[in-house]
Amino acid sequence: MAEFTMELNDEQKEVRDWLHGFAANVIRPAAAEWDEREETPWPIIQEAAKLGIYSLDFYAQQFFDPSGLGIPMATEEIFWGDAGIGLSIMGTGLAAVGVLANGTEEQIGTWIPQMYGDVNDVKVAAFCSSEPDAGSDVAAMRTRAVYDEAKDEWVLDGTKTWATNGGIANVHVVVAVVDPELGSKGHASFIVPPNTPGLSQGQKFKKHGIRASHTAEVVLEGARVPGHCLLGGKAKLDERLARARERAKSGGERVKNAAMATFEASRPAVGAMAVGTARAAYEEALEYAKTRTQFGRPIIDNQGIAFQLADMRTQIDAARLLVWRASWMASTGKKFESAEGSMSKLYASEVAKKVTAQAVQILGGNGFTREYPVERMHRDAAIYTIFEGTSEIQRLVIARTLSGMPIR
């Protein structure tokens, strides 16, 4: 088992610097344009693919880094460049994690490459869990998957919402109800292959932030997928449902559902996104405070500004520590016995909102305009306390884990 360390090795530092260069030279200059256009930045994704950043190989190298720091380090640098473009580049990873967390080796080898495409024809993927009436309350999910035994097919019906890359994805990973009586324990994940009849894009959302990332509804109307598209396979599903029914009768321990397994694995990565955005805003505010003069001196000479910057940097470093700890624990197979994954996501997302707001304040009127990037960063940061589990849900998860009580 790899020991936890805050020191990146030479190879990791080389990757970090390479990604930082891409973020500074390719992502940053294009960020304002794609934020205004509110469109998927395909040329930027294509450039990332040409360099090997947007690829299965790169994702796998970082995901299987024995230190656990590959994904959070890479994510922080890309989101330092821009959160909207960053999510367009990294958003496919959530669907990939869904397959890695629940799929067989054959499914992993078959579908994850199709999520990325290749250098000449880049693709994206979507993970579809939330619904109009089922966000934090996953037990309220209504999308159904019914098995047609005669044809060995699953028939999916329902509407998903808030899906990153929803409708434009080559591969969709959809969480659906297979046994309504079991609530959240009766869920399963399905691959919906490219060009499946019955899958369409619904409403595309116009958002407050991360506007370069495509977010839309996904509508499933009698969408039929082959039996082998059930992640993990039917035998494993039947076994899991049988255990859940027995435990429900005896009041035994909870069984994790497919969506929760994916979110648990990805929460530290969301924390890393938040750290990247917070760090970017802090650096902008620091440079501005050193060069902006009022009353004959740089504004950083004022304790009111200097102390804010000191707190901002301290909180960012603390958030990174929590993210790296959770990432190392996940990589080395250590259980989140105190909900460390939720802790990292909760703290980092709250820090991102606070730090970006302070950056706007330090820049004053300039910070309120789109001439300076902190305005965009502040809008982008709002999403971190909302998606993949709100801050309130993270606190609930942490409290339940610490107490062992079914807190409501």
328 & 270 share domain? yes
Choose the final residue of a domain: 234, 250, 266.
250
Q: For residue 239, which of 299, 317, 185, 289 has the smallest C-alpha distance?
A: 185
391 & 266 share domain? yes
**Interior/surface letters 247-278, b for 16+ CB within 10 angstroms, e for the rest:** ebeeeeeebebbbbbbbbbbbbbbbbbbbbbb
pLDDT at 366: 97
pLDDT at 194: 97
- pLDDT band with cut points at 50, 70 and 90 for residue 255: very low
More confident residue, 250 or 377: 377
Q: What is the Cα–Cα distance from 219 to 281, expressed in whole angstroms?
A: 37
pLDDT at 258: 54
Please indicate, yes or no, if residue 349 is contained in any of the structural domains.
Answer: yes
Q: Are 191 and 231 in contact (CB under 8 A)?
A: yes
Instruction: Show the beta-strand stretches assigned E in 205-330.
Output: 215-226, 293-294, 297-298
Q: For residue 231, which of 145, 355, 334 has the smallest C-alpha distance?
A: 145
Please indicate, yes or no, if residue 108 is contained in any of the structural domains.
Answer: yes
117 & 201 share domain? no
Place of tokens 């979110």: 263
- pLDDT band with cut points at 50, 70 and 90 for residue 1: low
- pLDDT band with cut points at 50, 70 and 90 for residue 257: low
Please indicate, yes or no, if residue 352 is contained in any of the structural domains.
Answer: yes
Mean pLDDT to the nearest integer, 99-105: 92
The separation between the first and the last C-alpha atoms of the chain, rounded to the nearest angstrom, is 37
Instruction: Summarize pLDDT for 2-55 with one digit per residue, the tens.
Output: 788 888 999 999 999 999 999 999 999 999 999 999 999 999 999 999 999 999
219 & 269 share domain? no
Task: Work out the mean pLDDT of the chain and round it to a whole number.
Answer: 93
Q: Are 395 and 343 in contact (CB under 8 A)?
A: no
Lowest mean pLDDT segment, chosen from 51-55, 180-184, 371-375 = 180-184
Identify the domain containing residue 322 by its residue range.
258-403
286 & 396 share domain? yes
132 & 172 share domain? yes
pLDDT at 56: 87
156 & 232 share domain? yes
Q: What is the Cα–Cα distance from 400 to 408, expressed in whole angstroms?
A: 9
Instruction: Summarize pLDDT for 109-147 with one digit per residue, the tens.
Output: 999 999 999 999 999 999 999 999 877 777 789 999 999
154 & 90 share domain? no
Polymer length in residues for the chain:
408
Place of tokens 């609530």: 183
Prediction pTM value: 0.92
Sign of the dihedral through C-alpha 50, 83, 284, 62: negative
Q: How many CA atoms lie within 13 A of 307 on its CB side?
A: 3
Q: In total, how many domains does the chain have?
A: 3
Instruction: Please name the residues in contact with 289: beta carbons below 8 A apart, sequence gap of 6 or more.
Output: 298, 299, 300, 305, 306, 309, 362
Give the DSSP letter of residue 232.
T
* CATH number, domain containing residue 118: 1.10.540.10
SS3 call for 366: helix
Q: Mean pLDDT highest for which of 97-106, 126-135, 342-351? A: 342-351
Q: Are 117 and 46 in contact (CB under 8 A)?
A: no
Q: What is the helix (H) or strand (E) element at residue 277, kind and residue range?
A: helix 258-291
pLDDT above 60: residue 262: no
Query: Amino acid identity of 196?
Result: T
278 & 307 share domain? yes
The share of the chain scoring above pLDDT 90, in percent, equals 83
Instruction: Summarize pLDDT for 275-285 with one digit per residue, the tens.
Output: 999 999 999 99
Residues with catalytic annotation? 388
Instruction: Please name the residues in contact with 300: beta carbons below 8 A apart, sequence gap of 6 or more.
Output: 286, 289, 290, 306, 309
Region at 406 (left for phi over 0; alpha for psi -120 to 50; beta for the rest): beta
230 & 315 share domain? no
